[in-house]
């Protein structure tokens, strides 16, 4: 059975998230060290802090498989901060570190796009070297720009050319950020996918409607079996569960877990 996980981005209440994930049947989780979801910066966490977090997960029989860490390689000191956060991921004890790719303004000139991309490639390769020393794979989120579509991801992977820098594939984001087809060139992209983030999406580019997985327009009924067929063997991680209260979110997570186990089983 493929590994099925849930991200704490499903619920801003961390205690509600871990209790709801366990009640829904999840055995694995991914933790976003992101203000509003888990408020302690990973780079400032002591070994005792890490043990306390792991104990909270252990209480619910949840095993972490990935961590999200913010990065901004265009900012002064951005690479150093990313390296510190990768050290935190190592201490947390997971081998996948999700983070963002570089942002390129839509109105940027060709020269500006190349400058931003070249700088990002140089720095993410340096981060990849550090990640390799730690036994970690960096997975770049598909949040538009350099990673907004399969062709964009493939172009970036060709330039980065680093075994410890890969893609965190979020098919709904292809639609939301770029109006792109998440199935496009999927056979070429799968070898570069280290992690998946699942939510659904409806409507055109930029439409912020993300229904329960399987109830939108991403086409997970077709996409999930295709990922398995193409050899993807990493975690399948739910990123959103609609609801306003802990109980509503838990109900969504129950339905999402049932859907994922049915489609991936």
Given a cut of 90, whether residue 214 has pLDDT beyond it is yes
DSSP code of residue 215: S
pLDDT in tens, 86-135: 999 999 999 999 999 978 888 889 999 999 999 999 999 999 999 999 99
DSSP code of residue 117: H
- The sign of the CA dihedral 51, 130, 152, 221 is negative
pLDDT in tens, 49-72: 999 999 999 999 999 999 999 999
pLDDT score recorded for residue 169: 98
DSSP code of residue 136: -
pLDDT score recorded for residue 106: 83
Q: Which residues contact 24 (CB under 8 A, 6 or more apart)?
A: 6, 250, 253, 254, 256, 257
Angle between the N-to-C axes of helices 47-59 and 14-24, in degrees from 0 to 180, rounded to the nearest 10: 40
pLDDT score recorded for residue 41: 97
- Give the pLDDT band of residue 217 (cuts 50, 70, 90): very high
Q: How far is CA 10 from the centre of its chain?
A: 12
Q: Write out the two tokens for 7.
A: 């991200």
Query: For the domain 4-264, what is the CATH superfamily, name and number?
Result: Divalent-metal-dependent TIM barrel enzymes (3.20.20.150)
Q: Virtual CA dihedral for 30, 173, 158, 195, nearest 10 degrees?
A: 20
Adjacent-strand bridge partners of 6:
29, 238
DSSP string, 176-210: HHH---TTTTHHHHGGGEEEEEE----SSTT----
pLDDT in tens, 15-45: 999 999 999 999 999 999 999 999 999 999 9
- The sign of the CA dihedral 98, 156, 145, 84 is positive
Given a cut of 90, whether residue 1 has pLDDT beyond it is no
Give pairs for 207-210: CB < 8 Å, separation 24+: 207/176, 208/176, 210/172, 210/176, 210/240, 210/242
Q: Write out the two tokens for 67.
A: 């961590």
Longest dimension (CA), the chain: 52
Q: Of 109-113, 162-166, 169-173, 194-198, where does mean pLDDT reach its minimum?
A: 109-113
pLDDT score recorded for residue 191: 98
The answer to whether residues 87 and 134 touch, using CB atoms and an 8 Å cutoff, is yes
- Give the pLDDT band of residue 189 (cuts 50, 70, 90): very high
Strands 28-32 and 236-238: unpaired
The answer to whether residues 187 and 228 touch, using CB atoms and an 8 Å cutoff, is no
For tokens 């999700």, what's the residue? 98
Distances (CA, A) of 113 to 103, 105, 109, 232: 9, 8, 6, 31
Q: Which helix (H) or strand (E) holds 179?
A: none
């Amino acid at each position: 059975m493929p590994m099925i996980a849930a991200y704490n981005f499903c619920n801003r209440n961390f205690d509600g998230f871990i209790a709801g994930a366990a009640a829904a049947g999840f055995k694995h989780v991914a933790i976003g060290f992101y203000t509003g979801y888990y408020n302690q910066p990973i780079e400032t966490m002591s070994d005792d802090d890490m043990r306390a977090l792991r104990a909270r997960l252990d209480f619910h029989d949840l095993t972490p498989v990935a961590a999200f860490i913010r990065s901004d390689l265009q900012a002064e000191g951005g690479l150093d901060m990313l390296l510190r956060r990768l050290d935190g991921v190592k201490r947390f004890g997971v081998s996948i570190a999700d983070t963002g790719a570089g942002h390129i303004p839509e109105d940027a000139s060709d020269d500006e796009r190349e400058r931003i991309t070249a700088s990002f490639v140089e720095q993410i390769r340096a981060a990849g070297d550090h990640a390799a020393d730690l036994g970690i794979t960096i997975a770049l989120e598909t949040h538009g720009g350099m990673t907004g579509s399969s062709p964009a991801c493939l172009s970036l992977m060709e330039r980065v050319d680093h075994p410890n820098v890969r893609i965190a594939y979020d098919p709904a984001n292809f639609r939301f950020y770029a109006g792109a087809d998440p199935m496009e060139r999927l056979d070429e992209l799968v070898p570069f996918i280290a992690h998946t983030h699942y939510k659904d999406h409806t409507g055109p580019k930029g439409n912020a409607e993300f229904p329960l997985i399987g109830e939108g327009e991403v086409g997970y009924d077709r996409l999930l079996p295709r990922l398995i067929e193409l050899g993807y063997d990493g975690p399948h991680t739910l990123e959103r569960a609609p609801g306003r209260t802990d109980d509503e979110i838990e109900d969504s997570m129950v339905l999402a877990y049932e859907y994922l186990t049915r489609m991936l089983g």
